[in-house]
Amino acid sequence: MTVPENALVFDTGPLRHFATEGWLGVLRFVAGPRPIYIPDSVERELSEAVDHASAARAVLDAEWISKHRSPDFDYLQAFAHYESRLVADRKNRGECGVLAMGQIYRCEVVLDDATPRAIAKEQGIRVTATVPLLCEAIRAKQLTSVMVESLVDNLLEGKYYLPFGRGGFRRHVLEHGLLDWEDLHD
99-149 confidence digits (pLDDT tens): 999 999 999 999 999 999 999 999 999 999 999 999 999 999 999 999 999
Could you tell me how far CA 155 lies from the centroid of its own chain? 13
Residue 164 is given by DSSP the state: S
User: In the predicted model, is pLDDT for residue 43 greater than 80?
Assistant: yes
Q: Are 117 and 127 in contact (CB under 8 A)?
A: yes
Burial class (CB in 10 A: 0-12, 13-18, 19+), 80: exposed
- Give the pLDDT confidence score for residue 78 in this predicted structure: 96
Band the pLDDT of 64: cuts 50, 70, 90. very high
The answer, yes or no, to whether residue 168 has pLDDT greater than 80, is: yes
Question: Which DSSP helix (H) or strand (E) runs through 110?
Answer: strand 108-110
Model pTM score: 0.93
pLDDT score of 186: 60
Q: How many Å apart are CA 155 and CA 151, to the nearest integer? A: 6
Q: To the nearest 5 percent, what fractions of the chain are helix, strand and coil?
A: 55, 10, 35
- 111 near 42, Cβ under 8 Å? no
What is the average pLDDT across 69-87? 93
What 3 state SS string does 62-106 have?
A: CCCEEEECCCCHHHHHHHHHHHHHHCECCECHHHHHHHHHHHHHC
pLDDT score, position 89? 82
